[in-house]
């Protein structure tokens, strides 16, 4: 078996590509169920966020399995699929990548706090759909622990910015002062709430909130003494806004040249700033071509000045040391897992044969008491344990080494085990098991 990750992120693909691979929880579950029907992928987890989509896989046959997954991804992406957007890491490199993701070292903004909960959510979906077993359960629990350890033992999250706070910083960079700014927040979800909170903290006085569900917009506006705007009236308010920050879950553009363009003459030349922090994007990039309109998407936020960047870079080095320690620890734990099927099979066969012989012996010795039968059963269990002790130690010692495959074959041949895992091998090769 081999551990692998196939994915893309903000470093390898622009937002217009990433948004095609941004899947909600139901879609993630559907993709995992599709993978479940493929025999060579016994375990899988799909992590999908605004800045990355990654498939973590346990593979029986790496070459065939990766080819199948790539065909699936190509089908999901359609004509927009390009292989160069994707990375494929295996073994230790896969583990290292996951630990860096969980520690927010691979995030758009180092130190952001959302990625750990996103990993937990992806792992829960995989477990619910019966796509995790020993390896991924061990790996994901360790990754979550590593993420927590990094945040506890370093100051990487100290004065950290999020996507929402970076959007507000960008607004300040543009306007200079938010106290007199007319700001419209489109969307009423978690990201919109975080954005509104940062706006208030940075001096904004006038916040309007619009959402398809007016009750949700009202609920958010009430938290910050803002004003809820019915969705139908959003564009009228947009004509008056200085900055519009959008973060909806819509699968299509919310603001377009068709619905916003006709309102621009009402602004009489006043510039309009659109900050789009949604993936998939809310703002049609064609609006950038309209006079007086400037569009920023989530990729542009990386360039926002971060006064604490150097500080967190130093803390990131400490985090990398923690990750290396955890990798070595995990390798020791996982080392024997690939040998476990043969070890379990050998144990099961010996126990099967022991019970088979005992059953016949007890038939021939009907005078035995229940206590005597219990003692004989226990004695044979101990003999089985002593007999298997050295072979088990030897198998554990070669697990994860270049000798592993040869040793599996040797043990299977010696004890007549079926390497495919079916029953206990070809017993016809022995004249009489009895």
Residue-range domains of the chain with CATH: 2-159+311-334 (3.30.460.30), 163-303 (3.40.50.720), 337-429 (no CATH)
Strand partners, 184: 208, 244
Please tell me the total number of residues recorded for the chain in this structure. 434
- The per-residue pLDDT of the chain, averaged, comes to 84
pLDDT value of residue 434: 42
Strand duo 206-211 + 43-48: pairing: unpaired
Phi/psi for 60 (5° steps) reads -80, -40
Summarize pLDDT for 329-382 with one digit per residue, the tens: 887 777 666 677 788 888 888 998 899 999 999 999 999 999 999 999 999 999
Give average pLDDT by consecutive 10-residue segment, the chain, 434 residues: 88 90 92 87 92 91 79 75 85 93 88 88 94 88 93 78 78 83 88 85 87 92 89 85 88 89 83 88 90 86 61 82 90 70 85 90 92 93 89 76 80 76 48 42
pLDDT value of residue 202: 86
| 257, 287 Cβ separation under 8 angstroms | yes
Clarify whether 94 is annotated catalytic. Answer: no
| 151, 102 Cβ separation under 8 angstroms | no
pLDDT value of residue 97: 96
- Among candidate residues 3, 13, 28, 50, the one labeled active-site is 50
pLDDT value of residue 118: 95
Q: Which of 355, 379, 369, 337 is nearest to 133 (CA)?
A: 337
What is the C-alpha separation between 228 and 213, in angstroms, rounded? 10
Summarize pLDDT for 101-148 with one digit per residue, the tens: 999 899 887 877 789 999 999 999 999 999 998 788 889 999 999 999
């Amino acid at each position: 078996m081999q551990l692998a990750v196939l994915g893309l992120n903000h470093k390898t693909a622009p937002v217009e590509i990433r948004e095609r691979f941004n899947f909600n929880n139901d879609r993630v579950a559907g993709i995992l169920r599709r993978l479940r029907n493929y025999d060579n992928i016994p375990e899988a987890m799909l992590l999908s966020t605004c800045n990355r989509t990654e498939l973590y896989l346990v593979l029986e046959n790496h070459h065939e399995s990766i080819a199948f997954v790539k065909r699936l991804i190509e089908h999901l992406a359609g004509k927009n699929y390009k292989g160069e957007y994707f990375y494929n890491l295996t073994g230790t490199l896969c583990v290292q990548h996951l630990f860096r993701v969980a520690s927010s070292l691979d995030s758009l903004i180092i130190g952001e706090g959302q990625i750990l909960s996103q990993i937990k959510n992806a792992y829960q979906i995989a477990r619910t759909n019966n796509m995790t077993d020993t390896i991924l359960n061990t790996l994901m629990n360790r990754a979550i622990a590593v993420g927590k350890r990094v945040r506890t033992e370093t100051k990487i999250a100290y004065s950290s910015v999020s996507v929402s706070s970076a959007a507000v910083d960008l607004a300040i960079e543009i306007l200079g002062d938010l106290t007199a700014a007319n700001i419209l927040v489109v969307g009423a979800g978690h990201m919109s709430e975080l954005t509104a909170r940062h706006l208030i903290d940075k001096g904004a006085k006038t916040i309007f909130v619009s959402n398809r569900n007016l009750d949700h917009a009202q609920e958010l506006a009430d938290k910050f003494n803002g004003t809820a705007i019915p969705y139908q009236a959003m564009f009228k308010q947009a004509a008056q806004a200085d900055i519009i920050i959008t973060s909806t879950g819509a699968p299509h553009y919310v603001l377009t040249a068709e619905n916003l363009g006709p309102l621009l003459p009402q602004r009489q030349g006043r510039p309009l700033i659109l900050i789009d922090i949604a993936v998939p994007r809310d703002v049609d990039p064609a609006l950038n071509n309209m006079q007086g309109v400037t569009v920023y998407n989530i990729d542009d936020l990386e360039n926002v000045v971060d006064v604490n960047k150097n500080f967190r870079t130093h803390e990131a080095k400490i985090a990398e040391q923690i990750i290396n320690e955890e990798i070595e620890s995990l390798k020791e734990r996982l080392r024997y897992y690939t040998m476990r099927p043969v070890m379990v099979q050998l144990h099961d066969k010996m126990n099967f044969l022991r019970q088979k012989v005992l059953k016949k012996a007890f038939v021939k010795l009907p005078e035995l008491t229940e206590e005597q039968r219990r003692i004989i059963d226990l004695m044979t269990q101990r003999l089985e344990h002593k007999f298997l002790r050295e072979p088990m130690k030897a198998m554990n010692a070669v697990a994860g080494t270049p000798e592993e495959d040869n040793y599996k074959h040797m043990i299977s041949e010696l004890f007549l085990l079926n390497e495919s895992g079916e029953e206990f091998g070809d017993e016809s090769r022995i004249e009489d098991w009895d």
